[in-house]
Structure 1
Amino acid sequence: MLGFPEALLNGMAITLLVVYRPQWLYDYSDKTYLKD
């Protein structure tokens, strides 16, 4: 019962962050994870 409202709020929050603050979501770095 509580899964749908939580998923809806999380989805809305991530969507707003992607649109307005994408730099806050950058977590993947090629330099860090693809070292030779």
Structure 2
Amino acid sequence: MSTDFSPTALGPAVTADALSIQTKKAIGVREFRSLVFCQQ
């Protein structure tokens, strides 16, 4: 079963999620939402 689990595939997603959380804490939720909307 360990072969079905791919840590390399989850790695980028986990990193991105952790970075987004840190970013929210750093600049605040309002500014974070503004950045997201500007990028989209």
Q: Normalising by structure 2, what TM-score?
A: 0.50
Higher percent of residues as helix: 2
1:3 deviation in Å?
A: 2.1
Letter in 2 for 1:14: S
Cα root mean square deviation, aligned: 1.5
Are 1:14 and 2:20 counterparts?
yes
Q: Which whole-Å CA distance do the structure 2 matches of 1:5 and 1:16 have between them?
A: 16
Paired residue total: 27
1:4 deviation in Å?
A: 0.2
Structure 1: state its 5+ residue gaps.
Answer: 29-36
Runs of 4+ residues over 4 Å off in structure 1: none
Q: Normalising by structure 1, what TM-score?
A: 0.53
Percent identical pairs in the alignment equals 4
